[in-house]
Structure 1
Amino acid sequence: MASPQKTSRKAAGTRAAIRRARPASGRAHSGDAGDDIGLDALVGHAGYAVRRFQLWIFQDFIKTLATVDIRPTQYAVKNVIGANPGLSQMAVAKRLGIERARLVHLLDSLEERDFVSRIPSTIDRRSHALHLTTRGKAALAQFKRLAAEHERHVAEKIGKANREQLLRILACFT
């Protein structure tokens, strides 16, 4: 356990960092460059910090996988279908928390690229079983290699131990 003196210094350092990030008035300065704009209570909101981190994550993912033109949600869908061939569209949508209508559009684009095929279900005529095509399986292997590079960027940004801790914390949401 940290000594009271160390804890007090750490808290003072955190408060000083927050003050540097936020003008005393809590208002923006004229000629704002962005960092001068005070965040007030947002500094202490987990949701705000998570959203900003998510933006950084998505931007880096898109940049890292730009050569293959794949988006984070497309990557997630391909992974789930690859790991669970034959799932229905409804099951994929539910597992990933994607609106069914949005998933239909996403699957259309993956099908146009010959990554995914929809096969009429033998159990339910109203449903389709989703499978990766041969091209989709090869592409997913390439996407996974690039996504691993992206994850290395995350570790560089926040530290390897922090990345691992973040994954443990967020595991209850996956």
Structure 2
Amino acid sequence: MTRRRPVASTAKTGLRRRAASPARAEKLNKLTLGQLDYHLGYVLRRLQIWVFQDFIQTLATMKVRPAQYSVLLVIEANPGRSQAAIGQTLGIERARLARLLHELERRKWISRRASGSDARSHCLHLTADGEKALVRIKSLAAQHEARLADHVGAKRRTQLMELLRDFG
């Protein structure tokens, strides 16, 4: 017995037409980006989304997000610096940084110590647990970076990094 394709009708015209195959329907529903595809900001944002998704997936076992990783690296490179200095360096607003630091402190990866020169300020340090975790996190992050380099090519990655550093 031959199976018949489903038929769809349109209420306004009363005409009947064949239902599109899933592949055809997908093709018909695909939108073009128009001029948006030529906007650098849009293309960079799409790249950022891809990079962040890959990073998050790669580091899923450690449950570390890109901003947390950035903060850990900057604290490692600058032990004893203030929350304000870390936040300013990374461009993270105070309220968001406070939540982020609270989470890292809850995981016992960082400690906040009162500053000797300013009682209102806290100095940030990695804990021993934080140092151990960061070794594993760096290893996973290196896998992510290697995948990104494979995707764009080592030479183009270097060029892209040089171009983007001019902005920040």
Q: TM-score by structure 1 length? A: 0.79
| Secondary structure class of the residue paired with 2:166 | helix
1:172 aligns with 2:166: yes
Distance 1:35 1:87 in 2: 52
Q: What's the % identity of the aligned pairs?
A: 50
CA deviation profile, 1:32-88 (whole Å, cap 9, x unmatched): 469831111111100000000000000000011111110000000000000000111
Q: 1:132 aligns with which of 123, 126, 130?
A: 126
Matching of residue 101 in structure 1 with residue 95 in structure 2: yes
Give the corresponding residue for 1:152.
146
Flag as ranges the 4+ runs of structure 1 deviating above 2 A: 30-36
Aligned Cα root-mean-square deviation (Å): 1.6
Structure 1 residue aligned with 2:117: 123
Structure 1 regions of 5+ residues with no counterpart? 1-29
Aligned pair 1:141/2:110, yes or no?
Answer: no
| Higher share in helix | 1
In the other structure, the counterpart of 2:73 is 79
TM-score (ref. length: structure 2): 0.82
Provide the rounded CA distance (Å) in 2 between the counterparts of 1:132 and 1:140.
Answer: 9
Shift of 1:31: 3.7
Matched, 1:89 2:86: no
CA distance in structure 1 between the aligned counterparts of 2:31 and 2:78, rounded to whole angstroms: 47
Whichever of the two has the greater Rg, that structure is 2
Q: Shift of the alpha carbon at 1:148? A: 0.7
